[in-house]
A and B are shown apart, each in its own frame.
With several copies, the nearest count.
Chain A
Amino acid sequence: MSMKGWFYAQMEGIVQALEQLGTDDFIFWYEATTPIATAPGLPTIDLTKKYGEDRVRYSGLDEMWYAGATLGAALVGSIAIDWHDMYMANPYPFEIVSQHAAKLHHMTGGQATIPAVWVIHISGQGPGLAGQHSDYEADSWYAHVPGVRTVIPSTVYDAKGLMITAVKSKDPFVYLNGSAFRALSDDIPDTPYEVPIGKAAVRTRGSDLTIVSSGQGMLAAMEGAQKLQGDGISVETIDLRCLNPMDTETLVKSAKKTGRVLTVDQSKYTLCPGAEVIARIAEFTDGVKFKRIAFPDAPPPGAPEMFNYMKPNGTHVYEAAKALLRK
């Protein structure tokens, strides 16, 4: 165990996954973030040094190019990562992921394998950047695409574990990387471990109410849960971690126990991940009461006054939970 930042955990995950696979046949394209990670007292991880410039390539501004190049590298058998840290360009890889990466294994009757990860950063965090640069919608877009696993860590532990899972998998992954977590550190194992896909994490156990969220929504969810616990309410907080496949079982079991489910999303309301959560629970169990909060169906405005009002926060969660408990 040692203290590691979000990025260090991810880079360590990549290196350890490749070590476990016993391969150096790895291609990594990046744009704004040089893949050099440091952590106090730990060796620096420098992907370029480790694997060479032919494998770890700074690729200018053209996200469409390296989204497609990632597919090509994977198709000929290399482990390929598209480190897509330009969130305003999130729709660019969409064609390649949805029409090719997600379909080729099936369309070729099982022949093509795509051991690739599109690490797609989502932001939506700070005010001031307005519509394009502070957006948070890509979670539902990618989660609606079958044939690709869409994961979204919210803890440093999961950031590493899901990266190892994604890199080691023969299947294509979309790994959604919330910019809010860049400053997060945590004490996590030094040895490699995987976070299983399709398994949600129960962050707090409780019996009065279930809160379900994912990605940056977890920040508000946890803040709200804490406030509620302060009021003596027993909250079960679930972090989806994996949007597709979604862990129906954990959701249904918790809902059956608490009878009340609040979903929290930083994504836009209509068809946010919480909609799928509610639909799954409602399909598979009866008598549960629901409430959903999310970013309104509007682009994020630049002015902090407006933006901060609209972005779901701990108080929103707290009040929605209270309302749901009164229901």
Chain B
Amino acid sequence: MSDTIEKTVEEVKAEGKGFISRRNFLKGLGVTGASVALFTTGTRLLATPEQEPVSKIPLERDIYWPERLTREQLIEMQRKMLQIRWYDRTVADKMLTEKGFRGYMHGSPGHEACAVGACFALNKDDWMAGYHRSHHHAIAKGANIRKMAAEIIFKASGTNNGYGGSMHIMQADVGMLGEDGVVGPGCCYGAGAGHALRARGKGQVALTFGGDAHATTPYFHISLNEAATHKIPWVYVIENNQYLDARGQHISECINVDDIAIMATAYNIPGVVVDGMDVLDVYNAVKAAVERARAGRGPTLIECKTYRYYDHFGVRGAEPGKLGSFGLGYRSDRELLSWLARDPIDKHRKTLVQTGMLTEREADALEEEVKAEIRDAFRWAEAQPVPRAEDGLRHVFVEEESVLPRMLADCPPWKTYA
């Protein structure tokens, strides 16, 4: 790690290095103009095109991390984003068209770059905690997609054996601590996990994903404060899609600052705003933060400006075969279109094609391959058995086969002692 971490933005800028950006990187590859100009959303929160540190402590900037990715990795990023996209589009279409489909989703389309960019910065044995909207996180961290498809329709062979469903997918063996139906605590147990990992001394780090509303919860403060004070190897990635739930409350009505990242100032740690629609931008920042954490320099708060194409929950305003939810009332279709125009998958595809890593045909083929894979996954899932009713009494404890069916007239002790 270079010393520049401890310098101010201005100093680094003055030195004329450190700000090796996506633009420069692409320029280096002979590609310019690839980044689409960012749309603004009125007077609301702006996405910023370059990763500008908000707090006084900047992240290390003299390495542009994506430069070090291989062609295979850059293509793998695209594959993962496509998997996420088609997984959720498939769920959306099923919700719209299949009577009796018992899955549901908090759709992640729009957020793909956040999940994939961040998870690519992690090793397999690093841990990641999701939130309620975490299909994309699970896939990005390498969860089994078939089992995920089975889980959201509560099949006995789902990731969680049908106990959890869409909001609680966990896959421990790929380092996914799980989604969380309660908004907020993920940062707290994520940072706690980081604390334990440091003690273990194997250089692992932990990462928590959160929505913008995380910034309004009690856990946000205590976790950042403690993680900063104790230099816990932990990265906090906020996917600021600007809205809370299906009421459509805008985050600007819930906090008094333009960028959540500025809150890092209260903890004297780097707070960074990145373009959440650019997988390389996200990767660059998270990778720098992960390196910083691994080096014992403590946590980083990263805010990805992003957007969710669907409604908060479910498929209101969506049409089969079409991406996104329109006419939601709390947001304009124009706003949605402006974000669709910056789609992270289109963008990365362009990068891959323009840099000669994929031909247009190969890019198409990749997409078809993923679609087939997802189609298969859901077919497999549908063929799986449902759980047995009595199994609801199992898995309450590791050390107890099952608990008693206390709703039954002949619950065992009744017989035993009567």
B167→A130 contact, CB < 8 A: yes
> Smallest CB-CB separation from B211: which chain A residue?
A61
With contacts A61-B217, A62-B217 known, is A147 near B408, CB below 8 A? Answer: no
B389 shortest CB reach to chain A, Å: 4
B66 shortest CB reach to chain A, Å: 28
Contact partners of A146 in chain B: CB under 8 A: 396, 403
Q: How far is the CA of A283 from the CA of B161 in the complex (A)?
A: 34
Q: Of the candidates A72, A88, A316, which one forms a contact with B181 in the assembled complex, judged by CB atoms under 8 Å apart?
A: A88
Contact with B along A99-138 (1 / 0, CB 8 A): 1100011111111110000000000000011111100000
A307→B396 contact, CB < 8 A: no
A99 shortest CB reach to chain B, Å: 6
Q: How far is the CA of A303 from the CA of B386 in the complex (A)?
A: 8
> Smallest CB-CB separation from B161: which chain A residue?
A109
Chain A stretch 275-327: residues in CB contact (< 8 A) with chain B: 283-285, 291-313, 316, 319-320, 322-324, 327
Chain B stretch 395-418: residues in CB contact (< 8 A) with chain A: 395-400, 403-411, 413-414, 416-418
A303→B154 contact, CB < 8 A: yes
Contact partners of A89 in chain B: CB under 8 A: 182
A105→B397 contact, CB < 8 A: yes
Contact with A along B378-405 (1 / 0, CB 8 A): 0000000011111111111111100111
A100→B417 contact, CB < 8 A: no
A32 in the interface (beta carbon within 8 A): yes
B396→A60 contact, CB < 8 A: no
B201 shortest CB reach to chain A, Å: 8
B192 shortest CB reach to chain A, Å: 3
A57→B195 contact, CB < 8 A: yes
Q: Of the candidates B160, B182, B413, which one forms a contact with A88 in the assembled complex, judged by CB atoms under 8 Å apart?
A: B182
The A interface, classified by DSSP as helix, strand, loop or mixed, is mixed
A110→B395 contact, CB < 8 A: yes
B393 shortest CB reach to chain A, Å: 6
The tally of residues in B whose CB lies under 8 Å from a CB in A reads 86
> Smallest CB-CB separation from B187: which chain A residue?
A68
Q: Please tell me which stretch of B168-176, B327-335, B344-352 contacts chain A, meaning at least 4 of its Cβ atoms lie within 8 angstroms of it.
A: B168-176
B407→A284 contact, CB < 8 A: no
- A interface residues (Cβ-Cβ under 8 A, vs B): 25, 27, 32, 34, 52, 54-55, 57-62, 64-66, 68-73, 75-78, 80, 88-89, 95-96, 99-100, 104-113, 128-133, 146-147, 149, 169-171, 248-249, 252, 269, 283-285, 291-313, 316, 319-320, 322-324, 327
Contact partners of B184 in chain A: CB under 8 A: 61
Q: How far is the CA of A95 from the CA of B393 in the complex (A)?
A: 23
Q: How far is the CA of A109 from the CA of B396 in the complex (A)?
A: 9
B409 shortest CB reach to chain A, Å: 4
Q: How far is the CA of A295 from the CA of B154 in the complex (A)?
A: 20
Q: How far is the CA of A306 from the CA of B129 in the complex (A)?
A: 27
Q: How far is the CA of A147 from the CA of B156 in the complex (A)?
A: 21
A316→B409 contact, CB < 8 A: yes
With contacts A128-B154, A302-B168, A327-B418 known, is A109 near B159, CB below 8 A? Answer: yes
> Smallest CB-CB separation from B232: which chain A residue?
A69
B198 in the interface (beta carbon within 8 A): yes
Best-buried of B164, B172, B410 by chain A (most CB within 10 Å): B164
Contact partners of B161 in chain A: CB under 8 A: 109-110
With contacts A69-B191, A106-B163 known, is A61 near B396, CB below 8 A? Answer: no
Q: How far is the CA of A99 from the CA of B178 in the complex (A)?
A: 14
Given A57-B230, A66-B192, A109-B163, 11 other A-B residues pairs in contact with their CB atoms under 8 A: A60-B216, A62-B225, A72-B188, A76-B177, A78-B200, A171-B399, A295-B406, A303-B162, A304-B154, A305-B162, A309-B390
Q: How far is the CA of A285 from the CA of B413 in the complex (A)?
A: 11
With contacts A129-B167, A130-B163, A133-B167 known, is A54 near B199, CB below 8 A? Answer: yes
A38 shortest CB reach to chain B, Å: 18
Q: Of the candidates A60, A285, A312, which one forms a contact with B407 in the assembled complex, judged by CB atoms under 8 Å apart?
A: A312
B53 in the interface (beta carbon within 8 A): no
A284→B102 contact, CB < 8 A: no
Best-buried of B161, B184, B254, B417 by chain A (most CB within 10 Å): B417
B226→A64 contact, CB < 8 A: no
